[in-house]
Amino acid sequence: MKQLLDYNYEEIEKIVLDLGEKKFRAKQLFEWLNKGAEFNEMKNLPASFIKKLEDEGYVAQAIHIKDVLESKLDGTKKYIYELNDGNIIEGVLMKYKYGNTICVSTQVGCRMNCAFCASGLDGLIRNLTPGEILGQVIAVNKDNKVDKERAITNIVLMGSGEPLDNYDNVTKFLDLVNAEEGLNISMRNISLSTCGLCDKIYKLADDGYNLTLTISLHAPTNAQRLQTMPVTKKYPIEEIIKAVKYYFDKTGRRIVFEYAMIEGQNDTLESSKALVALLKGLTCHVNVIPLNYVKERGLKGTNMDSIKNFIKYLEDHKISATKRRTMGADIEGACGQLRRKYLNKDE
């Protein structure tokens, strides 16, 4: 089985020509694919052409929505998708004043095993293909009944998986979603969140992807970070700072650090001092998040007063910082709560 959504415009053109069809069919087919259409919905394509595609083993879409849970707190929607091989992934649509943001997954599971995260509970099952990542954006656009205008204005690669551990497929997805013939979403509206795979951060900068690079930092020292993020063994914090400086120099994009506050671990005055020392001089912003509860992980988030004090300390020392709103906590749609298994409401 070959998923047409995995191919870029030039590749689709080649498929069309190889099947003996006229070139303009490629444009029609590509438009349908980006609207989330199945073969039987592609009204202006001849049945003979669709049959040829099917005979060659092509399928149109890469994912299908299995269920949607809507937050009563803030209207956030959690999507449960089924892939063509039966694997399940999750994603979230968040509604902000400035537009709608979709959080997409990039892998089934994750092998980084961060201690606060549900996505890595079963390890890495497999990488998502470019079309399976793009399919999440397309399916949610379609589900929100938008045709000409996009429902989705912003994308964050922050769902299950470590995006830079699936570099080639993720960068092809970025090319696809950014393509003029496709959804044409600007790199400026895309954030990629990584636990800090430094070699790939250099590559991303060298390959010219000018997006918002977000580092899941969560601790200001290696000793502390090792308690929750095993990746620190391979890439210590100093290496991450060097890599993000390189990224900033190449792209001019401000670096964002995510800092999930865990009670008694990284929320002390010493931690805020160490964080200020670490980030001094960097063009960056810190998003402070109260840790979201994951029942298998047993870690507790810091209370609001301590979070406010922490942010104030950073700002007093000229580090830009805000508390990130937690979205969709009642549907387990918040950061670190996305998982591979579809948990129904009674579990």
Active site residues: 90, 335
**Which residues in the 294-333 window bind ligand SF4 by CB under 6 A?**
none
- Give the 3-state secondary structure of residue 202: helix
Q: Does position 261 bind ligand SF4 by CB under 6 A?
A: no
* Min separation Cβ 41 and ligand SF4, Å: 34
Please report whether residue 114 would count as binding ligand SF4 according to CB under 6 A. Answer: yes
Number of residues in contact with ligand SF4 under rule CB under 6 A: 13
E strands, the chain, in order: 2-3, 58-59, 63-70, 77-83, 88-96, 99-104, 107-109, 124-127, 154-157, 190-194, 212-216, 255-261, 284-290, 320-323
Nearest to residue 243, comparing CAs of 215, 285, 212, 270? 215
Two tokens at 69? 């849970």
DSSP bridge partners of 287: 258, 322
Contacting ligand SF4 (CB under 6 A), which of 5, 112, 211, 288? 112
Closest CA to 145 of 234, 56, 68, 225: 68
Q: Is 34 in the site for ligand SF4 (CB under 6 A)?
A: no
Of 5, 60, 63, 110, the residue at the interface with ligand SF4 (CB under 6 A) is 110
- Rank residues 16 and 117 by Cβ distance to ligand SF4 and give the closer one: 117
- 91-111 burial by CB neighbour count: b if 16+ within 10 A, else e? bbbbeeeeebbbbbbbbbbbe
Contact 275, 305 (CB under 8 A): no
- Select from 6, 21, 90, 162 the one that contacts ligand SF4 (CB under 6 A): 162
Q: Pick from 108, 117, 152, 291: which binds ligand SF4 (CB under 6 A)?
A: 117
- Supply the Cα-derived Rg of the chain in whole angstroms: 21
Q: For ligand SF4, give the closer residue by CB, 114 or 183.
A: 114
Residue 195 within binding range of ligand SF4, rule CB under 6 A: yes
Minimum Å distance from CB 120 to ligand SF4? 3
Encoded one letter per residue, x for contact with ligand SF4 by CB under 6 A and - for no contact, window 212-231 reads ----x---------------
87: nearest Cα among 68, 107, 103: 107
Q: Which residues contact 228 (CB under 8 A, 6 or more apart)?
A: 114, 115, 116, 218, 219, 262, 265, 299
Between 135 and 161, CB nearer to ligand SF4: 161
Task: Name which of 162 and 267 has its Cβ closer to ligand SF4.
Answer: 162
Stretch that binds ligand SF4, among 33-41, 57-65, 74-82, 117-125 (CB under 6 A): 117-125
> According to the binding rule CB under 6 A, does residue 161 interact with ligand SF4?
yes
- Looking at residue 345, what DSSP letter applies? T
Q: Report the nearest approach of ligand SF4 to the CB of residue 213 (Å).
A: 14
CB of 70 or CB of 239, closer to ligand SF4: 239
119 near ligand SF4 (CB under 6 A): yes
**Binding region for ligand SF4 (CB under 6 A) out of 77-85, 112-120, 134-142, 274-282:** 112-120
Helix locations, 109-197, DSSP H: 130-143, 167-178
CB 268 within 8 A of CB 261: no
Nearer to ligand SF4, 112 or 198 (CB): 112
Q: Report which DSSP code applies to 201.
A: H
Task: Select from 53-61, 77-85, 106-114, 149-157 the region that touches ligand SF4 (CB under 6 A).
Answer: 106-114
Kindly state whether residue 160 participates in binding ligand SF4, applying the rule CB under 6 A. yes
Amino acid at 276: V
Residue 227 Cβ, how far from ligand SF4 at the closest point, in Å? Answer: 14
Cα 25 to Cα 49: distance, rounded to the nearest angstrom: 9
| Residue 272 to residue 312: CA distance in whole angstroms | 10
Binding of residue 291 to ligand SF4 (CB under 6 A): no
Separation of alpha carbons 245 and 280, rounded Å:
12
Positions touching ligand SF4 (CB under 6 A) are 110, 112-114, 117, 119-120, 160-162, 195, 216, 336
